[in-house]
Amino acid sequence: MSRPPLPELPDNVLDQAIGWLVRIESDGANPQLLEACQRWRQAHALHEVAWQALQKSDAIFQGLAALPGSVARDTLQRLQGGRHSRRQALKLLGVGLLASGVTGWSMRDSTLVPWGADYATEVGERRQFLLDDGTRLQLNTASAVDVQFTAQRRLIVLRRGEIFIDTGKDAATAGGRRSFWVSTRHAQLQAIGTAFAVRDEASGTRLRVEDGVVAIQGKGQPVMVAAGEQYLIDAIGSQRVETSTLDASAWARGQLVAKRMQLRELTAELARYRHGWLRCDPAIAHLEVSGVFQLDDIDQALSALSDSLPVRVERFTPLWTRIVAR
Partner 1 sequence: MSSPSTSPTPHADVRALYINHHAWLLGWLRKRMRHGDHAADLAHDIFVHILGKPEQLQQLRQPRAWLSTVAHGLLVDRVRRQRVERAYLEAIAHLPETEVPSPESQLILLETLARVDALLNGLPPKVRMAFLLSRLEGLSYKEIAERLAVSLSSVEKYMASAIRHCYLAQR
Q: Considering beta carbons, is residue 44 or 56 the nearer one to partner 1?
A: 56
Q: Taking CB under 8 A as the criterion, which residues in 56-95 touch partner 1? A: 57-58, 60-61, 63-64, 66-80, 82, 84
Among 33, 34, 36, 54, binds partner 1 (CB under 8 A): 54
Binding mask 2-41 for partner 1 (x = CB under 8 A): -x-xxxx-----xx--xx-xxx-xx---------------
Residue 200 C-beta: closest distance to partner 1, Å = 18
Sequence-distant (6+) residues with CB within 8 A of 116 are 92, 96, 146
- Contacting residues for 99 by C-beta, under 8 A, at least 6 apart: 118, 119
SS3 content of the chain, % helix, strand, coil (to 5): 35, 30, 35
Distance of CA 216 to the CA centre of its chain: 27
Work out whether 114 is an interface residue with partner 1 (CB under 8 A): no
Beta-bridged to residue 160, according to DSSP, are: 144
Binding mask 124-163 for partner 1 (x = CB under 8 A): ----------------------------------------
What is the smallest separation between the CB atom of 115 and partner 1, expressed in angstroms?
Answer: 18
Contact assessment for residue 163 and residue 181, using Cβ atoms and an 8 Å cutoff: no
Q: Is residue 5 left, alpha or beta, with left meaning phi > 0 and alpha meaning psi from -120 to 50? A: beta
- Sole binder of partner 1 in the list 34, 40, 99, 109 (CB under 8 A): 109
User: What mask, x for binding partner 1 by CB under 8 A, covers residues 171 to 190?
Assistant: --------------------
**Which residue, 61 or 224, has its beta carbon nearer to partner 1?**
61
- 288 residue type, one letter: E
Q: Which is nearer to partner 1, 114 or 276 (CB)?
A: 276
Burial (CB count within 10 angstroms: exposed 0-12, middle 13-18, buried 19+), residue 94? exposed
* Contact region with partner 1 (CB under 8 A), list: 150-158, 239-247, 270-278, 286-294: 270-278
| Residue (23 or 185) nearer to partner 1, CB | 23
- Is 196 in contact with 165 (CB distance < 8 Å)? yes
Range list of β-strands (E), 172-326: 179-183, 188-200, 205-217, 223-226, 230-233, 238-240, 255-262, 277-280, 288-294, 311-317, 320-325
Taking the complex as a whole, the smallest distance from the CB of residue 245 to partner 1 amounts, in Å, to: 22
Interaction between residue 319 and partner 1 (CB under 8 A): yes
